[in-house]
Structure 1
């Protein structure tokens, strides 16, 4: 079967590979969205189109955003009118790009209306969709976010130092909605806590601003470049806790949370959809909620204090929490189960 899975590859995120590989093994021929109009024969051979993050629009300039918006609207309209099965994965509450938010909302409305199936990775997503339109309930299909166990290599045998200092790690794309400034300022004046921020900054201007801010604090360490896959396991192994102070207004699911759990690390993170689904395991991670930036800084500091006190009482406690979370994701949402659910959905759609 010829299908489009967009994007078909992503060198910075193993999620795409995990989702696509079982499809290829099952005989699906995966094509790029950009080639949809390469010829009539190819166009009519495509039976299903699966879109990820399609509602996101480049906000580096108004004209780039406008051009992207109209192009995407044309593509969506053609897919809809041609009768191809359309699948959309809902990854976020709303786009993280603030300047193109209105255009993104229009695209999201079309995706909700025209999709034959809406894949969600957390049950909170279902509630958000139904609050907007209860009639969409039959389109929603819950497929859990897959684990990343061994995707970047095995868990290293090395572990964080046994001293009482708490080693925090932020890893992933470094963007404003992830509250990096708040994190630096909160951890910067804390004793016996260090923070490593590792990941590619949104642009040079943002990189420079974070570098200037971090200079004030000797316990803040920056590596604002893409982290190669081969270095991720060691980077995680040297930390006690992965800290991810996401914006609750837009964030919903997190592959980085799943990455941390897959590599036996617990997290400090707001209660986004990924963590809400893990309520039965909440004693093994530090979830929290907040109402505003001031409240966010207060509760994240409390979570850090809690983790630090736990490590001082028992140097192996945080390690045990991480191992428990790896066992949890392996039992609830293993890669193989996710791949099977996606294949079953596709077959059901094209046979209907």
Structure 2
């Protein structure tokens, strides 16, 4: 069966590859959205369209954003008129690109209205979507985020730290909504007791310099300002006691980086975004928190880092034990093959071929 799964490739996000591999194993022929209008024959051959992050608008300039918005609007209208089943995965509360919020909200509204199924990876999504009515809620399908176990190689053995310092890691795209300046300030207040590594490519050179300037004032922050090669991910995680992800609660919902940490036996320090809330009884294996204001965020983040530091000093194996429990949970609940079957079942229902 020919379907659009967009994007079909993302070199910086293995999430896409994992799902595409599972779908191809079940006989689906995957095509990018850009080919949808390549010919009448191809357009007619496409049985279903599945979109990821389609609501995100390029905000490099107003005119670029307007062009991006209009193109996406035309694509959605064409899909709607053609009658092709539309599946959309809801990844965030709102788009992280705040400069194009109006355009993003408009595309999101159409996706909520026109999608035959809306895949969610976090139960918190139900509360967000509820404001759009009962009919939208009826089209939600919860499917766990696939784990990353083994994707970046085997879990590396833990290196002997030789001290009671707490080694924290932030990894992922370096963007403003991830509150890295706040994190650097908080970690700096601990002095040599806490070491932080920030590993990831920045949104742009200007923001990279902004974060670098902040980090240089602290003696306990190391910045690795590049996309971490796949072959280095496991070793980077093995060097950390915990992964710290001080995301913006206003927009964040799912975290592939948190799933990555759990898949490599690391716990996290993170706000109670959907990924964390869905851990249920295993939330206690993380250092989770809530906040309302930036000042509250600063205070509770510091409290959780201090708690992790104290726990490591009391029992050097304690943080590793938390990571081991989260790994077992990932293996059982976020199994990739099971998720592939669930997505296949969604497609078959939408196409009216369910058994």
In which range does the TM-score fall when normalised by the shorter chain?
over 0.9
Residue-by-residue CA offset, 1:201-254 (whole Å, 9 max, x unaligned): 000000111111111101010001100010000000000010000000000000
Whole-Å separation in 2 of the counterparts to 1:209 and 1:55: 27
Residue-by-residue CA offset, 1:88-143 (whole Å, 9 max, x unaligned): 00000000001100100000000000000000001110121113322212211010
TM-score of the pair, normalised by structure 2: 0.98
Q: Give the 3-state SS of the residue equivalent to 2:351 in structure 1.
A: helix
CA contact (8 A) 1:180 1:245 kept: yes
Match of 1:159 in 2: 159
Match of 2:55 in 1: 55
Residue-by-residue CA offset, 1:54-79 (whole Å, 9 max, x unaligned): 00001110000000000000000000
The within-5 A match list for 1:253-332 is: 253-332=254-333
Q: Give the 3-state SS of the residue equivalent to 2:47 in structure 1.
A: strand
Q: Give the 3-state SS of the residue equivalent to 1:351 in structure 2.
A: coil
Match of 1:125 in 2: 125
Whole-Å separation in 2 of the counterparts to 1:215 and 1:137: 47
CA contact (8 A) 1:264 1:323 kept: yes
Residue-by-residue CA offset, 1:299-329 (whole Å, 9 max, x unaligned): 0000000000000000000000001000011
Q: Give the 3-state SS of the residue equivalent to 2:270 in structure 1.
A: strand
Match of 1:171 in 2: 171
Counterparts in 2 of 1:299 and 1:133: CA distance versus 1, 3 Å:
same
1:189, CA displacement in angstroms?
A: 2.1
TM-score of the pair, normalised by structure 1: 0.99
1:156, CA displacement in angstroms?
A: 0.8
1:32, CA displacement in angstroms?
A: 0.6
> Which 5+ residue runs of structure 2 have no aligned equivalent?
none
Q: Give the 3-state SS of the residue equivalent to 2:23 in structure 1.
A: helix
* Number of residue-to-residue matches in the alignment: 352
Q: Give the 3-state SS of the residue equivalent to 1:145 in structure 2.
A: coil
Whole-Å separation in 1 of the counterparts to 2:289 and 2:158: 29
Q: Give the 3-state SS of the residue equivalent to 1:298 in structure 2.
A: helix
Whole-Å separation in 2 of the counterparts to 1:296 and 1:215: 22
Match of 1:94 in 2: 94
Match of 2:345 in 1: 344
The within-5 A match list for 1:242-257 is: 242-257=243-258
Match of 1:4 in 2: 4
Runs of 4+ in 1 over 6 A off after TM superposition: none
The within-5 A match list for 1:197-236 is: 197-236=198-237
Counterparts in 2 of 1:144 and 1:334: CA distance versus 1, 3 Å:
same
Q: Does 1:75 align with 2:72?
A: no
